[in-house]
Amino acid sequence: MARSYKRTGRRRSTMGGVNISSKRVLVTGGTGGVGLALADRLTSLGAVVVTCGRSAPPDHPHAVRADLAVPGEAARVVAEAVRRLGGLDVVVANAGVQYPTPLTLGPDPRTLALAREEIEVNLASVVELAAAAWPHLAAAAPDAAFVAVTSGLAFAPKRSAPVYCATKAAVHILLESLRHPARTASPGVRVQEIVLPLVDTAMTAGREGPAKKLTPSAAAAAVARGMAGGRPVVPVGATRALLALLRVAPAVGRRILRDG
């Protein structure tokens, strides 16, 4: 269920030394799972948050109904967030979908349709968000940020979701690439990647991994801490061990995730 998020003036926090209560934030995929918990978390820290999701009812003033699988929707959400908030300081690209896509079984139309949806939501919408939001973030500098949520599967893919893994790996490279112009043309806009482990959401129902699932609230708290710290890449929970393992024994790390 979508919620209304308003500036509160309650607990105070910092984000790169700046009080988060002064921030105007857009969180995509914010009407369920990690996104909903993150919107709650940032609101409790005093931010004013606009969210979007396919299930967002129109009677909630800070939740925009949008399907990010449709080209143009991400840019529309940015424009709507700017209209409601008077600008943007932070964008969190959190929306994501994951489906089993067995590409080795032939060109099944349903499988290919699901794969296209993963590409549109997980990658293309992030590209569109960055392009649409960047002028607003640059105007909010020096304390603005473009944040995207990825997965340990961006670094060590599993066999059952090749397209999902590819989209998350692509977002990782996209953010790396964005940091180059950000440093020169808009140095006041931080580009961050938050790397999540398996989180207990509707998307991961029935799936288990080598580590216990995080709750959405725990994941949201970790994302908020990562945003506050300002590091370019922030591994959360089990992904800290995974990324460390991939540096010293990449074959072992990939084997662990392969059947996850």
Active-site entry in 95, 129, 164, 236: 164
Nearest to 2 by CA among 25, 32, 27, 22: 32
Give me the pLDDT at residue 51, please: 94
Burial 126-152 (b: 16+ CB within 10 A, else e): bebbbebbbebbeebeebbbbbbbbbb
- Residue that the structure tokens 């109904």 belong to: 65
- Mean pLDDT, consecutive 10-residue stretches, the chain (260 aa), reads 44 49 91 90 93 75 90 97 96 94 92 97 98 96 92 92 96 97 90 92 60 84 90 92 92 83
What pLDDT is stored for residue 141 in this prediction?
84
Q: The pTM is what?
A: 0.88
Query: Strand 24-28 to strand 189-196: parallel, antiparallel, or no bridges (unpaired)?
Result: unpaired
In the chain, helix, strand, coil percent, each to 5?
A: 50, 15, 35
- Could you state, in order of their start, the residue ranges of all structural domains in the chain? 14-258
Establish whether 164 is a catalytic residue: yes
pLDDT of residue 201: 65
Torsion sign over Cα 177, 48, 32, 108: negative
pLDDT of residue 208: 63
Read off the tokens for 143: 């304390």
At residue 21, the pLDDT reads 75
Query: What pLDDT shows up at residue 7?
Result: 44
**Cis status of the peptide bond prior to 142, with omega within 30 of 0:** yes
Spell out the alpha helix ranges (H) of the chain.
33-44, 73-85, 109-119, 125-140, 162-185, 216-229, 238-248, 250-258
Lateral strand order in the sheet of 90-93: 63-65, 48-53, 24-28, 90-93, 144-151, 189-196, 233-235
Which residues pair with residue 48 across a beta bridge? Answer: 24
For the segment(s) 14-258, the CATH number from 3.40.50.1980, 3.40.50.720, 3.10.20.30, 2.102.10.10 is 3.40.50.720
